[in-house]
Amino acid sequence: MTSNPSTSPSDQPLTPITTTPPPPRNDLRYIRYNAAHEDAYVPAMRQLISKDLSEPYSIYVYRYFLYQWGELCFMAMDDSLPDPMVGVVVSKLEPHRGGPLRGYIAMLAVREEYRGRGIATKLARMAIDAMVERDADEIVLETETTNTAAIKLYERLGFLRSKRLHRYYLNGNSAYRLVLYLKEGVGSMRTNVDPYGPPPMPEGLAAPEPALLHENGREW
C-alpha cells in the first residue's frame, strides 16, 4: 500500500485516546459486617443494592444472610461521605446437598461513581478468602448474561461458567451460573440424591436446586 503524499495533518490517523481508570482509592475503609451496627448498615446496603440489581430483595433476605453468615459480608466505606457505604458483598456458606461445602455470593454492588477502581474485586476477594478460611470446597453465584463488568470481574478471579439459566430473573433475563473450584476433584464430588425423586437429568438440563424463594415464588 502506498501513502498519499497530499495528506494534510488533519487527515492523519488520530492517536486513540486511552482512558486509564482512576487509581484504587487507598482512603477507603474495608470492613466486615458487624451486627451491633445493623440499624445503620442494613438500610445503607439495601439502598446500594436495590439501585442496581434486578431482583427486589425483601428485608428478610438480608436478615437470612446476615444473621447466619454476617462474617461473610464485607463493606467498603468512604468516611468523607454522609452515607459512607460505597460497596458491599453478601455471601453464605453451607453444605450443598450433603456434598461440597459451597459458598454463594448473593449480592455484590458498588456505588456508580466509585466503579472501575477495583472495589468490587477487593470485596469479592475478601469474601472468597473468608470462605477459604472456613474450608469451602467451591463458590457459586449467578449473574445476568449481559452483565459484562461482573462476568469479567469474576472470570478474572478464576470463576468458570457452569450453566446458562434461561429467563432466570424476574425481568426475563437469563443468567450464567459461575463456579470457582477451590479444591481438586470438587467438580466431580457426588451430592445426595433422593432415591424416590425424579431421575437425574442430563448435564446442562439440571433442574434448579431448591433454595429460598421470593415472596412471589421465584428463587433468589
Ligand X SMILES: CC(C)(COP(=O)(O)OP(=O)(O)OC[C@H]1O[C@@H](n2cnc3c(N)ncnc32)[C@H](O)[C@@H]1OP(=O)(O)O)[C@@H](O)C(=O)NCCC(=O)NCCS
* Cβ–Cβ under 8 Å, residues 176 and 142: yes
Would you tell me how many other CB atoms lie within 10 Å of the CB of residue 55?
17
Q: Does 84 interact with ligand X (rule: CB under 6 A)? A: no
Question: Which residue among 90, 150, 179, 182 contacts ligand X (CB under 6 A)?
Answer: 150
Beta bridge partners of 140: 104, 179
Does residue 89 belong to the site contacting ligand X (CB under 6 A)? Answer: no
User: Looking up cell 466505606, which residue turns up?
Assistant: 77
Q: Which of 31, 42, 44, 53 binds ligand X (CB under 6 A)?
A: 53
Task: Find the part of the chain contacting ligand X (CB under 6 A) among 7-15, 37-45, 92-100, 108-116.
Answer: 108-116
Please identify, among the stretches 117-125, 158-166, 180-188, 193-201, the one whose residues bind ligand X according to the rule CB under 6 A.
117-125
Distance in Å, CB of 107 to ligand X, minimum: 7
Nearer to ligand X, 48 or 130 (CB): 48
Q: Which amino acid is at 85?
A: M
What does the per-residue mask of binding to ligand X show for 181-210, with x meaning CB under 6 A?
------------------------------
Cα end-to-end distance, the chain, whole Å: 58
The nearer residue to ligand X, 44 or 153, going by C-beta atoms, is 153
CB of 3 to ligand X, least distance (A): 35
Q: Does 119 bind ligand X (CB under 6 A)?
A: yes
Provide the minimum distance between the beta carbon of 96 and ligand X in the complex, in angstroms, as a whole number.
Answer: 19
The cell numbers describing 178, all together, are 459461575
Q: Which helix (H) or strand (E) holds 176?
A: strand 175-181
Size of the residue set binding ligand X (CB under 6 A): 20
Given the C-alpha cell 446442562, which residue does it identify? 204
Contact residue for ligand X among 153, 157, 165, 186 (CB under 6 A): 153
Counting every residue written for the chain, the total comes to 220
- Report the distance separating Cα 101 and Cα 186, nearest Å: 10
Instruction: Please give the backbone phi and psi of residue 164, each rounded to the nearest 5 degrees, phi first.
Output: -110, 125
Which grid coordinates are listed for 205? 438440563
- Check if the beta carbon of residue 127 is closer than 8 Å to that of residue 105: yes
Least gap, CB of 30 to ligand X (angstroms): 12
Measure the CA–CA gap between 164 and 206, rounded to whole angstroms: 11
Which CB sits closer to ligand X, 34 or 148? 148
Binding interface with ligand X (CB under 6 A): 52-53, 108-110, 115-121, 143, 147-150, 152-153, 156
